[in-house]
Amino acid sequence: MTRMRAIGQTLQVEQNLTSTDIAWLTGIAAAILRVFVWDAGRPMCTLVDDLELAPQTFYTKIRQVVQVLTLVRRGKQSVEILMNRVNELQDRLAQVEQEFHL
């Protein structure tokens, strides 16, 4: 158990995770488990409330997380590549928005 906590502490430091980030990550992990294993964990409505998601956006978030995890698992994309693409697109969007407002 100590090794697992050390891994968690290392990830927390490496990725600069806040307690809110960790709560969301563990909540989303519990929700994924519940989606695929009927009798696992707390009821879905409780998890949705804990994640502070609207029921309408819950499926979208779960779908996105499962897509990213599946891409990483299959070795098609690394998280770093995906994050670089996201950051690049966010930068482009900010630039276009800035030009549009001028």
Q: For residues 6 and 47, state if they share a domain.
A: yes
Contact (CB, 8 A) for 60 and 48: no
Of 34, 102, 94, nearest in space to 62 by CA: 34
Give me the number of domains the chain comprises: 2
pLDDT single digits (tens) 27-44:
899 888 888 888 877 877
Q: For residues 37 and 70, state if they share a domain.
A: no
Average pLDDT over every residue of 77-92: 83
Q: For residues 20 and 34, state if they share a domain.
A: yes
Residue 45: predicted pLDDT: 79
**Domain of 12?**
1-52
Domain boundary among 52, 69, 84: 52
Average pLDDT, the chain: 85
pLDDT at 101 over 80: no
Q: For residues 16 and 60, state if they share a domain.
A: no
Q: For residues 47 and 60, state if they share a domain.
A: no
The band of 18, judged by pLDDT with boundaries at 50, 70 and 90, is very high
Average pLDDT over every residue of 6-18: 90
